[in-house]
């Protein structure tokens, strides 16, 4: 969860929010995609209007057009992991943010996902994470999908984080987690199994709370 949330919020604090509503409305008309009004986003997320202004300015600073495609997303994300290869993990993360499968992320997509990851309930956070691992979106996580995600995370963190990393480390990691999560031993992990297993793991539950007050 830390890898998901931490780097997504680092760009949101660079500029102070404007208190001038006309100023914000004007800025929103100057991009190719105009996001929904702040009042509507405030109602749909767990952020205040002031927090949304900060997030919007950070988003627009990185994506002046108002939308971000996958290549741009990868470029931005890779800046935070200079010692590793973040491209594969960024691909999976991009797909999770692009819930409508449009091939681009709008500010609404970004802030809705961020609201869940930072301020959502435990159930909401775990369901979002389950969807990240469910690469083919069939409602289940199989070993291949979990292995792909875990290997992508290992690649992203780089050799300095794992100085003695063995080539079979991702597989061992997945085997251990799958053994724990696949309660009925049918070869796949359902949403209910995933949530139950995560709730039984103190480390996972602790990680869900790390970024609650990040903004």
pLDDT digits (tens, 9 = 90+) for 54-113: 999 999 988 899 899 999 999 999 998 888 999 999 999 999 999 889 999 999 999 999
Q: Do residues 97 and 168 both lie within one domain?
A: no
76 part of a folded domain:
yes
> Is this prediction's pTM over 0.85?
no
Closest CA to 109 of 94, 90, 120, 87: 94
**Boundaries of domain holding 94:** 48-119
As averages over each run of 10 residues, the pLDDT of the chain (215 residues) reads 43 42 47 70 94 92 91 92 92 94 94 94 95 96 95 83 63 90 96 96 85 58
Among 119, 145, 167, the domain-final residue is: 119
158 part of a folded domain:
yes
Helices 70-78/87-97 angle, 10° precision: 130
Q: Do residues 150 and 88 both lie within one domain?
A: no
Q: How many structural domains does the chain have?
A: 2
Among 100, 119, 138, the domain-final residue is: 119
Q: Do residues 85 and 96 both lie within one domain?
A: yes
């Amino acid at each position: 969860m830390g890898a998901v949330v931490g780097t997504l919020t680092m760009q949101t604090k660079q500029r102070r929010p404007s208190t001038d509503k006309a100023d914000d409305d004007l800025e929103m008309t100057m991009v190719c995609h105009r996001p929904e009004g702040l009042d509507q986003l405030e109602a749909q997320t767990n952020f205040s209007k002031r927090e949304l202004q900060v997030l919007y300015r950070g988003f627009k600073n990185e994506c002046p057009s108002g939308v971000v495609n996958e290549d741009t997303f990868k470029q931005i994300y890779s800046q935070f992991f200079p010692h590793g290869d973040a491209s594969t993990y960024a691909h999976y993360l991009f797909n999770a943010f692009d819930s409508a499968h449009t091939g681009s992320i709008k500010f609404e997509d970004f802030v809705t996902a961020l609201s869940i990851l930072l301020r959502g309930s435990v159930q909401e956070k775990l369901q979002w994470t389950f969807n990240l691992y469910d690469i083919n979106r069939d409602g289940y996580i199989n070993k291949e999908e979990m292995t792909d995600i875990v290997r992508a995370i290992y690649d992203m963190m780089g050799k300095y984080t794992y100085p003695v990393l063995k080539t079979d480390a991702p597989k061992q990691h997945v085997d251990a987690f799958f053994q724990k999560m696949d309660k009925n031993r049918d070869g796949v992990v359902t949403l209910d199994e995933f949530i139950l297993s995560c709730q039984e793991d103190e480390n996972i539950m602790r990680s869900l709370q790390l970024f609650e007050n990040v903004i």
